[in-house]
Amino acid sequence: MKTKPNIYHEKQSRQLCALHTLNNLFQKSDTFTKALLDDLCLQLTPNSWINPHRSIFGLGNYDVNVVMAAVQLMDCEMVWWDKRRKITPHDVNSAVGLILNLPSPSKVGGLLFPFKTKHWLAIRQFDSVYYNLDSKLSSPETIGDVQQLIEHLTRHLDEDDCELFLVNSTKPCTLAVAEQM
């Protein structure tokens, strides 16, 4: 039986799931920091008293524009998946990783609110096996091979208000392939 690969996995803190998703996706603890994501918010909307790209309380809850800008800093791009299309192995095999943005219960401490917020999570492939790197999990969760991944993604995309993004390298193919080796 194959041993589980050594996978970097940050756990949820405050409303920083976007930060944890990015670090889990790129497999390094300090790839991104809260300060860097806050700076991206300011670059996206300078001179604004209330920044629309994060929580007004400064606890995180970053929007898609911040996540996309952060991904671009890593020579990658986020491509929104049109959920009306069927996912094929070709679609996901060439991606560096996947990001899901899905509805999540809103709670503070033990108090549950009647509305939902959005939660970011990363999915990556290691040794031909896909893993869910959700920061709300205690450790990475095995999804399985590409067919099991497609089933997993399809179940999520059938939910209301769930979005999928493919993260692709923008480097020339030969450089991107060489870096993965």
35 burial via Cβ count (<10 Å: 0-12, 13-18, 19+):
exposed
Q: Taking the CA of residue 155 as centre, how many other CA atoms within 13 Å lie in the half-sphere pointing to its CB?
A: 6
Task: Name residue 99's beta-bridge partners.
Answer: 122, 165
Q: Extract the runs of DSSP E, i.e. beta strands, from 82-178.
A: 97-108, 111-126, 129-132, 141-144, 163-169
The catalytic residues are: 17, 119, 134
